[in-house]
Chain A
Amino acid sequence: MPRLCDLQQAFAEAIVEGKYQTATAAMATDRIARRSVALYRGLIRNNFVQVLRITYPALHQLVGDSYFGVLARGYIKKYPSTSGDLFLYGRQLPAWLQCIEAPPLLVELARLEWACHEVYQAADSAPLALEQLQAMVSEDPSRVTIQFHQTTRFLSFSLPVHRVWQALQPDALLDEIVDLPLPEQQTGVVVTRREGRIQVTPLNWLDYRLLEALSQGASVASIERFAREAESGFDFTRLMTTLLNLQVIAGISVKEGI
């Protein structure tokens, strides 16, 4: 009799690689042994396809059930689940789509959807306290850096992919029309969560670069300097207002003076 770990390994080989011989030899000698393994194979694969459909609903809608199934099955073969928590499954789909040279729209849409997926269950953050906001305003901006909520992701794309994502949301306006192919256009968005709902907000390209730099630890003063170098007469107050309206600031840090 195979030991339990050998038997589980043999069953895994049958499921993953279709090598049925060892697993079926360990099964009762009835005619359905091979069919049983095939059945489990199908159930397991369909379960993962369903998980990917839930995680990437806009991509699924865009390409349709049949083609999504083809993509999902290819991904499942390459990337097995490594956790009992299926929320984590599908993380590498955008990279895999890029690897198989899928159209850029699919790659970028998948990147956006994974970010939305992560943000949906990211840790809650308390709103910024008024005192912290006042401190930010009164401090020397060269010493101030901003921390963002864990429910914030800055993403850049080579296409305005957020328009496709938006049009595929359940609450999208019926007359929302997006012409394809999308034009090549550097696009920056911020993904946030407000009252449990995911929001994808497009930013103009310079605003995006500035806010992304802030999110990576650049000081407020360095951002302001960069903005004015990039665009004379840049309205920095408008940018800060945009940032406050996004409600993504978790806190501020003030570097000690030397």
Chain B
Amino acid sequence: MSVQHPAPIPAQAGIGLRAHHFREILDAPPPVAWMETHPENYFGEGGAPLRILERIRSRYPLSFHGVGLSLGSTDPIDHAHLHKLKGLIDRFEPALVSEHLSWSSVGGRFFNDLLPLPYTTESLDHLCARIDEVQTILKRPLLIENITRYLTWQDSPIPEGSFMAEAVKRTGCGILLDLNNVYVNSVNFHLDPFEFLDVIPPEAVQEIHLAGFDHFGRLLIDTHGQPVYPEVWGLYEWAIRHIGPRPTLIEWDTNMPPLAVLVEQATQADAILGGCHAAAL
């Protein structure tokens, strides 16, 4: 493949690359600035997925958004998984690589879901050691993403924003700020989203995620199956004004719409980013 170095991701909107849209993207590449994908979907040794990713990489800068490292787990890091990720990073040279501030396995059993950590000094020490280990092997900084949670641990004395800020300070990692997750948590647990947003270091935020949620009774569930809600667009406008323009992803994983819907949402994000650029001039 012809890629020689990671193409930087501009502070513009991108979309999630999902198999549902492969054909459409290859036939008529959409006008978006970049694409993000889950690297685990390309862990196979060959076949169509890797060839498709090569074609897409030749046209768009890429971001890798991992879902399988189980960063917060007390099990040892899965080195086979990490080395597959490293191989894929070496091959495709994504501009950004991210994972979640969560755990998903214990005792060798994987739940393949993003489970919340208690925000304690023990968790912080553990997480930072794991981020260090991953960054050392990948030889690059990792972005960590704030997750949606549906429970609160009793003993979790450190506010989430402070927990992430401290992880950034100790490890040099960056932040992937998921504003849909901030909003969903704020509604489900009656929190002020700005208490989180005010505490995270703005310079560490290198990417933003926007997505939609679904209602489950009075609870909001982060399904990535709806357009971005007006309240989340509101948080986004605030974030762009206070943090500055950042690469922004429209994330959609269930109830997949036509590609044009994702592109339209990306255009909406670009308009907000453009407004911020214009205001700065």
Interface, chain A (partner B; CB < 8 A): 1, 3-5, 7-9, 11-12, 15-16, 25-30, 32-33, 36-37, 39-40, 43-44, 47-48, 51, 80-87, 89, 120-124, 150-151, 193, 196-197
Known: A4-B126, A12-B107, A124-B47. A84 touches B151 (CB 8 A): no
Report which residue of B40, B51, B112, B156 has the largest number of chain A beta carbons within 10 angstroms of its beta carbon.
Answer: B112
> Are the C-beta atoms of B84 and A85 separated by less than 8 Å?
yes
Q: In the complex the two chains form, is B110's CB within 8 Å of A82's CB?
A: yes
A-B contact pairs, 18 of them (CB 8 A): A1-B154, A4-B74, A12-B106, A12-B109, A28-B153, A32-B151, A37-B151, A84-B67, A84-B110, A84-B112, A85-B40, A85-B81, A89-B112, A120-B47, A121-B44, A123-B46, A151-B46, A151-B47
- With both chains docked as a complex, state the minimum distance between the C-beta of A124 and any C-beta of chain B, in angstroms: 4
Specify which of A30, A40, A80, A124 is in contact with B113 (CB 8 Å cutoff).
Answer: A40
* Residue of A with least CB distance to B48: A196
Q: Say yes or no: A9 contacts B106, CB within 8 Å.
A: yes
B78 cross-chain contacts in A, Cβ below 8 A = 83-84
Interface size on B, as a range, is 35 or more
A18 to B156, CA, bound (A): 24
Q: Which residues of A contact B81 (CB under 8 A)?
A: 83-85
Q: When chains A and B are docked, how far (Å) is the Cα of A120 from the Cα of B110? A: 24
Q: Which residues of A contact B109 (CB under 8 A)?
A: 12, 16, 80-82
User: For chain B residues 105-134, which have a beta carbon within 8 Å of chain A?
Assistant: 105-113, 115, 117-118, 120, 122-123, 126
Among residues of A, the one whose C-beta sits closest to the C-beta of B152 is A28
Are A81 and B106 in contact, CB atoms less than 8 angstroms apart? no
State whether A44 touches B51 (Cβ < 8 A): no
The answer to whether A84 and B68 have CB atoms under 8 Å apart is yes
A122 to B44, CA, bound (A): 6
Which 8 A-B residue pairings sit nearest by Cβ, starting from the closest? A121-B44, A84-B68, A196-B48, A124-B46, A5-B74, A36-B151, A123-B45, A28-B152
Give, as a whole number of angstroms, the nearest-CB distance from B76 to chain A.
12
When distances are taken between beta carbons in the complex, the residues of chain A under 8 Å from B68 are 83-86
